[in-house]
A and B are shown apart, each in its own frame.
Chain A
């Protein structure tokens, strides 16, 4: 190995290593960043498409452009605020421009992209305006409306919450009656492979189809994953609110039950007005 070096040499060497490493990394990050961003977005869009009933094979065999085009052709996006009033992106754009995002770039983006950026900067913006996050947060909720041929055939809402290990994210699609589930999909999860991770398997997601989130009285009941087989434990209209569980993944299921019903509850007032409007 080398002879003892003087301190000066040590410093020079350290600086050279630092600079070399950071230049390489910064270069790679800048080069690959656009591709990574597309991947993240593609993953989300694919899941929305799967939730309304496109098959996974169909979505995965399509090129990214085809997937985005499919989404753009079949979906429109609506935003509601905490009071369930319709909202647009004006406020978000204003706020993001104060963070020196170029207006042109924001104008080119879709609602969901702006909301994603806005949500990631919410904490920062709240601190800027000297409000707590709860006070500042406009509580925007995004709804993807599926209109494959002109008329509305499904409403898709994002769901998100803790499973056993970490956050699970997914989408639920509801029929136009806003009661029957059309489909469900999960992405981004870190559940145990072979146990909790089976939530992404088809048989599990399939059983949500046709289940109802409302009691006959109109109360919100959500859909609950039971331990074991649902049809052994429930019958009649109760069975429409329950699905079979995954053995060995009780806690993952418990997590999903919690965040699914919590998310549906926050959307419920808005859905109620939609149902009334017919």
Chain B
């Protein structure tokens, strides 16, 4: 469903100018109006597990945006040479090479973060956004629009993820980025953290509510 929908909105030919209206639309559409998570139903999988606190969420967003932009670009560059019989496996090889690179770099330069994300960095490979956008957009478009599309979708994904992470850490632990923001006075008055928010079900419920708000605001209803 999601991929098929995504195929429809592919623009077959991009104008030669680099920052035209169309390019801007490619970049900004996924932020809200055509968000990969809430409207295309892509990439919900591995991401939600790391959103119980904001810090790992931010790292995850950066990692995914880099991988998505990179893979869209590379696949688009070689799209004419990829034999269609083995295209899935070729795309996956390229994506997993990029992911492994990111993983290795995290291990070398941001060790604490890579410890926190553990196997979830690897799971970016199977994040449906990456393959979904590669199949739906990069295989049919020139490198530059593909790069923008990857960047846009990565950022759109980050928007939703950060919202979920913000809500979960604020209500679940009373802090943001590890700093206490809910004052002690409130706790003394009997306020307690919502334990549900740090647990997996909290993420689903929060995301469900975000989708509700978004569909109301963009008036895109499903039957």
Contacts and interface: CB of A to CB of B under 8 A. Distances in A.
A29 B104 contact: yes
B97 A21 contact: yes
Interface string B175-217: 0000000000000000001010011000000000000000000
Nearest to A248: B195
Contacts of A17: 90, 93-94
A248 to B, nearest CB: 6
B83 A9 contact: yes
Residue among B79, B82, B83 with most chain A CB within 10 A: B83
A32 B93 contact: no
Interface residues of B, number: 34
B109 A10 contact: no
Contacts of B100: 25, 28
A64 B198 CA distance: 33
A21 B94 contact: yes
Interface stretch (A112-120, A126-134, A187-195): A187-195
B105 interface: yes
Given A192-B52, A192-B199, A14 B86 contact: yes
Interface in A8-36: 9-10, 13-14, 17-18, 21, 24-25, 28-29, 32, 35-36
B118 A190 contact: yes
Contacts of B199: 192, 195
A24 B107 CA distance: 17
Nearest to B175: A194
A69 interface: no
A18 B82 CA distance: 13
B94 to A, nearest CB: 7
A35 B82 contact: no
A25 B198 contact: no
Given A21-B93, A39-B108, A1 B84 contact: yes
A28 B104 contact: yes
A5 B108 CA distance: 41
Contacts, number: 78
Contacts of A10: 83, 85-86
Interface string A136-153: 000000000000000000
A61 interface: no
Contacts of B111: 36, 39-40, 42-43
A4 interface: yes
A158 B82 CA distance: 52
Contacts of B53: 193-194
Contacts of A217: none
B81 A1 contact: no
A1 B140 contact: yes
B172 A194 contact: yes
Looking at B96, B109, B115, which has the most chain A CB atoms within 10 Å of its CB?
A: B115
Closest 4 A/B residue pairs (Cβ): A194-B198, A39-B111, A35-B108, A32-B108
Interface of B: 52-53, 56, 79-86, 90, 93-94, 96-97, 100-101, 104-105, 107-109, 111, 115, 118, 139-140, 172-173, 193, 195, 198-199
Interface of A: 1-2, 4-5, 9-10, 13-14, 17-18, 21, 24-25, 28-29, 32, 35-36, 39-40, 42-43, 188, 190, 192-195, 248
8 contacts: A14-B90, A21-B96, A28-B105, A36-B104, A36-B107, A40-B111, A192-B199, A194-B193
